[in-house]
Amino acid sequence: MMTFGRDDIRRQLDLEDESRALGSSRYRASRPLPWRTDTATVEEEAELPPGRQLLKQTIKPLSTALYEWVERIRNGGAGRRPGGFNLLSQVKPDEAAYLIARIAVNAAANRLTATATAFQISNALIDHIEMLNLKRANKKGYKGLEAKLKKGAKRRSAIRDIMEKEGAKVDFSEADKLQAGMRAIELLCDSTTLFTLDTMKVGRGETFVLRPTEACSTWLEKQHARCEILEPIHLPMVVRPRRWRTPFWGGYLTKRPGLRLVKQWAAPYHSELRYVDMPEVYAAVNAVQETPWRINRRVLDVMREVWDQGGSLGGLPRRDDLPMPTRPEDIETNELARAAWKREAAKVYERNNQALSKRLAFSQRLWIADKFRDETAIYFPHELDFRGRIYPIPIGGPHPQADDSGKGLLEFANGMPLGDAGGWWLAVHIANLFGVDKVSFQDRIDWVFANTNAILDSADDPLDGERFWTKADSPYCALAACFEWAGYMREGATFVSHIPVALDGSNSGLQHFSAMLRDPVGARAVNLLPVDKPQDVYSEVAKLALEAALAANDNEAQPWKLKGVSRKIAKRPTMTYCYSATRYGMQDMVLQTLKELDKEAQEEGKPPYLEGADNYAAANWLSFVLWDAIGETVNAASGAMAWLRAAAKVAAKAGQPIWWTTPVGLPVLQAYRKVTGQRLDVHYQGRRLQLQIAKDTDKLDANGQTNGIAPNFVHSNDAAHLMATVNACVRAGITDLAVIHDSFGTHAANANRLSLILRETFIAQYTPDVLARFRDELVAQLPPEVAAELPELPPMGDLDLEVLRDAEYMFA
């Protein structure tokens, strides 16, 4: 184990200071400087947490003030109505209040004059009225415009032309607009005490500006200061993290506001957790965060070169925007050419817009990798979600649970000779990374040896060679493995390996449900039984769905008869089934997969996947079939989920949250609260905003409790299995670990032992009846008359858990 001196501790403390400073800088850059002129956009203050909170405080009193003002004038007889009435009376008070408040928050942050603010308010109200008029006059045209506006494809002048053409346009004079806007500001100031009109010198004269009141300004600054503290850019550590010994301090050396072992909003939970004896939980989290890592410099060098050359290769985002299509020379006179160019330009604009956030995130990842590239060891402090699932805290750069490029940039700081079995497991790992994971271990190894020349070419010349590594499902992890395979080919069993070899579960949720109910049918589908080659539950479900399609006479089944039901289409619904996926949800998943397949086909110049059939109708039909096929394949899991939902429903009737204890001793609290508030549907700056001004209540959300229990219970059990496995590994001398919920990685030389430990801990966890223990805990929480309503537990099957000991494809 590495030792650290005073200088190392000082460096770490400096890094934590830098982390907070970076977070503060990022937060400040995202908003105007407090109540001063700034180059930031006028939207930003209302988009930040304090601004959103201010909106919530403003909308209700302003809405009431607007309603009372309009009604007072309406009921005042036929006399002359004050300026601003005709405009303000055409918008629902709560919708008008949202628009006025949003503009006011932004205007105050940017010190806009009262006149400019008044016109902004009136124009926003007019835009909203016109969009509602268009919706009534031409619903299809409204939806089309809404979709285009989401992509930013229409200018304001073009929108005005559409409104005029559709008869949706409304006309107000400049005087009307100024009077309406000023009346709105007056009502805002009178009803909220949060804003005030003040004078500001302009040249030799004065003008009115909208400002926050002193109390409001002080409150906002305190909230912004709090946000700065709460949003550090977490960085890896250069010393071992502080061990978690209490729920309130661990990981980083300096204590941070809001950073606790378990991310759970309920304060009483943390108060109780302080007194819970859970040594297995603390030991597992500490073992994971004490794994020393380092930057894989060879992968970083390749990634940096790819990025410098424009990105894209191996799944990286593009570094620069795609070029816009060339404008036709006759664009002004050729209407067809102009329309075609606009369609293509809109597509490019949308793709560039989508790529921006990915580009920024990847730039941050590279910056952090460069910053730590020369460290002999770095560490990732970890925390738990409320179910006990373990997550790294610093996730802005490379980390052990990142996507391919983030994981590919890391390797264990400690190396280990491959030994006799390590080369075998390294080959299995490489095959898995290339998607060759539905065949036996021996077939995977044979595939690697058959492709060794291409693998070595990738290691020797990643960018100027054949680039075989880019064909992998996980290209940069595959590149790291290619480098190691080349070392193994040179040095044999003595080669010192640094990359984690991952053993992944086969649909983890179904594995856990099948084991807890001793279901032999489900167990076979998800590789809990000894087999010659791995079973694939996704392919089995796809097969059953195709059989149903071939036997059906429905028109909607025709596309599936012709095209077949692929594994890819069945995968998402099957994967999410035990996490309370609904039949409607499955329909959306099939639609999304069809959209992806159609996009791939378009890029290759091929027809759509279902060759012109109605995707929606086809997906709707298939969702029913998939639902039945999955239930048939894993019937016991269906029974367990149904029982959990029924039990949660009973508890919710009593207004009781649910708590249970995981097999490693972590208490889990599920307490979804009802949310009340106004629902608003407004149009602002060309966008449709569907909002809920929400407020949590003390009442339980019965639907949330019922829908959440199955995924939360099974996630708490897979988290417990992970912790038990980590602790068993440490006892066996395996201390370099890379874990992601149902994926377990270690040195290739230790993979044999890890595989056996995974099965042993799984058997140990489910030898007791975990569902009965959950029921017993629930009975203890409920009044006797309510507990009596709990349904009988689902029946147990006859699976002998001891057979799992020989199920080598259970984690593979």
The span from the CA of 366 to the CA of 361, in Å, is: 9
The span from the CA of 298 to the CA of 304, in Å, is: 10
Q: What share of the chain is helix, strand, coil (3-state, %, to 5)?
A: 60, 10, 30
Q: Of residues 504, 588, 628, 701, which has the active-site annotation?
A: 504
Backbone angles phi, psi at 729, to 5 degrees: -60, -45
- Alpha-carbon separation of residue 696 from 54, 662, 671 (angstroms): 17, 28, 12
Q: Is 742 a catalytic residue?
A: yes
Q: Which residue in the block uniquely carries the two structure tokens 């002999």? A: 376
Q: Which residues contact 811 (CB under 8 A, 6 or more apart)?
A: 503, 504, 505, 506, 744, 755, 758, 759
The span from the CA of 655 to the CA of 653, in Å, is: 5
Q: What is the 3-state secondary structure (H, E, C) of 673-685?
A: EEEEEEEEEEEEC
Q: Of residues 94, 457, 718, 742, which has the active-site annotation?
A: 742
Q: Is 504 a catalytic residue?
A: yes
SS3 451: coil
SS3 262: strand
Backbone angles phi, psi at 770, to 5 degrees: -70, -30
Q: Which residues contact 433 (CB under 8 A, 6 or more apart)?
A: 472, 473, 474, 477, 478, 481
The span from the CA of 666 to the CA of 118, in Å, is: 56
In 462-528, the DSSP E strands lie at: 496-497, 501-504
Q: Which of 583, 586, 578 is nearest to 711 (CA)?
A: 578
The span from the CA of 525 to the CA of 506, in Å, is: 9
The span from the CA of 733 to the CA of 723, in Å, is: 15
The span from the CA of 741 to the CA of 718, in Å, is: 7
* The two structure tokens encoding residue 409: 């940039």
Amino acid at 49: P
Q: Of residues 127, 571, 718, 736, which has the active-site annotation?
A: 571
- Alpha-carbon separation of residue 510 from 79, 103, 157 (angstroms): 73, 50, 55
Annotate 8-38 with b (16+ C-beta within 10 A) or e (fewer). Answer: eeebbeebbeebbebbbeebeeebbeebeeb
Number of helical H runs and strand E runs in the chain: 31, 18
* The two structure tokens encoding residue 361: 């995130």
Side-chain half-sphere CA neighbours of 272 within 13 A: 10
Residues catalogued as catalytic: 504, 571, 742
